[in-house]
A and B are shown apart, each in its own frame.
Chain A
């Protein structure tokens, strides 16, 4: 059976090449997903941390003490990162510890907050009020980002599933049923055009879905896999249904 399946791809060197590339790219696509999960978990914790810091400052603590208290309280990724940073800060200045915390988080939100906190410390600005304002700002921003994610994720998956799986299967079914190879239909050029079309359509579907969710680049890692899946479904479907 395995040889039978392999035999189906005998005259499709491009598809075989794409399948090989897709495995490599799928492996490359995993780190951006993990990184995004980590970054979003930090960013979702950020407003609560800023609010807690603002409250602690209001209670008369210094910023470093407030951060230490928050590091002990927070059990998430942000708390862990904060604990590491504060440990390191014993050997350096508090300002450089803030900069290190920002760069370690690899989050533009945290980097902006830390930049603003350092500027506020430098300029002797009212830190408690600034932290409270930032907490509200970032809470609203994260709410919007999470809403976009939850509302559009289903639609993005729907596009990929229909274009990359449903469509090639449907066309393979129609072609295999009405023009079976076993009855002498000559459809090499036709099949080649449609196989390439499904690959390109999957690429468009991945692009649209990725853009909808605001992460086009990380979605493109999965493009070869979906292209290969779509092209293989059509190619194998026509051969199996058409005999």
Chain B
């Protein structure tokens, strides 16, 4: 959930940092502006960072601990750029602009991939969702259909068959849910 939120917000954070720092605002003030809210989990992280800085801890150490907390590559890269700016006085604005462009390309690609990958979900879902119940339905009515043919097929206990059918139906549901889970885990976070 955190990684999805990070990937959703990071591009907007980069654009805001670009505007703020491009107009002469310092890094700490820019972080403070984002910490005030509107950028989900990143606002929360920056707010915690500002609280610790106000307690007297070093910005460098705080950024390093935030780097460990970050889950997505994009967020890690932005924190790393901030860290480099603090330690080596690098040109943060130019780096952020390039990162923003790259991230936008990545986002476009990941949306295209998401649409392509979900292309097969309906077919797979319907295959499992249809074949499973059809087989189980035939199995469930078999003991009564085959009544009188015990010599051919052996004794079939209706309650035992029903237990198998119920387990089969639950497994079909789990299978359907697992296939559908792809829609959640691969979400590009628009």
By a CB distance below 8 angstroms, the chain B residues around A205 are 125, 129, 176
Residue among B20, B114, B141, B187 making CB contact with A179, cutoff 8 Å: B141
Query: Are B23 and A186 in contact, with the CB atoms below 8 A?
Result: no
Residues 107 to 140 of chain A near chain B (Cβ within 8 Å): 111-112, 115-116, 119-120, 123-126, 130, 133-134, 137, 140
Residue among B114, B173, B190 making CB contact with A197, cutoff 8 Å: B173
Which candidate, B53-61, B62-70, B74-82, B132-140, is the interface stretch facing chain A?
B132-140
Query: Are A193 and B166 in contact, with the CB atoms below 8 A?
Result: yes
Q: Is residue A167 contacting chain B, with contact meaning CB distance below 8 A?
A: yes
By a CB distance below 8 angstroms, the chain B residues around A133 are 15
Question: Whose C-beta in chain A lies nearest to the C-beta of B39?
Answer: A112
Residue among A120, A126, A158, A190 making CB contact with B140, cutoff 8 Å: A190
Q: Is residue A162 contacting chain B, with contact meaning CB distance below 8 A?
A: yes
- Over the window 151-169 of chain B, the binary record of Cβ atoms lying under 8 Å from chain A Cβ atoms (1 yes, 0 no) is 0000000000010011001
Q: Is residue A68 contacting chain B, with contact meaning CB distance below 8 A?
A: no
**Interface centre among A126, A144, A200, A207, by most B CB within 10 Å?**
A144
By a CB distance below 8 angstroms, the chain A residues around B126 are 158-159, 162-163
**Interface centre among B114, B119, B140, by most A CB within 10 Å?**
B140
Q: Is residue A241 contacting chain B, with contact meaning CB distance below 8 A?
A: no
A186 to chain B, nearest CB (A): 7
Residue among B38, B129, B169, B183 making CB contact with A212, cutoff 8 Å: B183
B17 to chain A, nearest CB (A): 11
Which candidate, B44-52, B83-91, B104-112, is the interface stretch facing chain A?
B104-112
CA distance A130 to B115 in the complex (A): 31
Residue among A148, A187, A194, A204 making CB contact with B176, cutoff 8 Å: A204
Question: Whose C-beta in chain B lies nearest to the C-beta of A134?
Answer: B15
B29 to chain A, nearest CB (A): 9
Looking at chain B's contact residues, is the secondary structure mostly helix, strand, loop, or mixed? helix
CA distance A124 to B23 in the complex (A): 7
Question: Whose C-beta in chain B lies nearest to the C-beta of A155?
Answer: B122
A78 to chain B, nearest CB (A): 20
Query: Are B25 and A204 in contact, with the CB atoms below 8 A?
Result: no
By a CB distance below 8 angstroms, the chain A residues around B169 are 193-194, 197
Query: Are B111 and A130 in contact, with the CB atoms below 8 A?
Result: no
CA distance A147 to B110 in the complex (A): 13
CA distance A163 to B177 in the complex (A): 13
B132 to chain A, nearest CB (A): 9
- Over the window 156-190 of chain A, the binary record of Cβ atoms lying under 8 Å from chain B Cβ atoms (1 yes, 0 no) is 00110011001100110011001100000111011
Once A151-B115, A194-B169 are accepted as A-B contacts, the answer to whether A144 and B137 lie under 8 Å apart by CB is no
Residue among B19, B118, B141 making CB contact with A187, cutoff 8 Å: B141
CA distance A147 to B130 in the complex (A): 29
Interface residues of A (CB under 8 A from B): 111-112, 115-116, 119-120, 123-126, 130, 133-134, 137, 140-141, 144-145, 147-148, 151-152, 155, 158-159, 162-163, 166-167, 170-171, 174-175, 178-179, 185-187, 189-190, 193-194, 197, 200-201, 204-205, 207-208, 211-212, 214
* Interchain residue pairs with CB less than 8 A apart (14): A123-B24, A144-B107, A144-B190, A155-B122, A159-B121, A159-B122, A163-B126, A178-B138, A179-B145, A193-B162, A193-B166, A201-B172, A204-B173, A212-B118
Report, nearest first, the 7 A-B pairs whose CB atoms are least far apart. Answer: A125-B23, A208-B180, A123-B23, A211-B183, A179-B141, A197-B169, A212-B183
Beyond A112-B12, A211-B187, A214-B190, 5 additional contacts (C-beta under 8 Å) are A163-B176, A193-B140, A194-B169, A204-B180, A207-B177
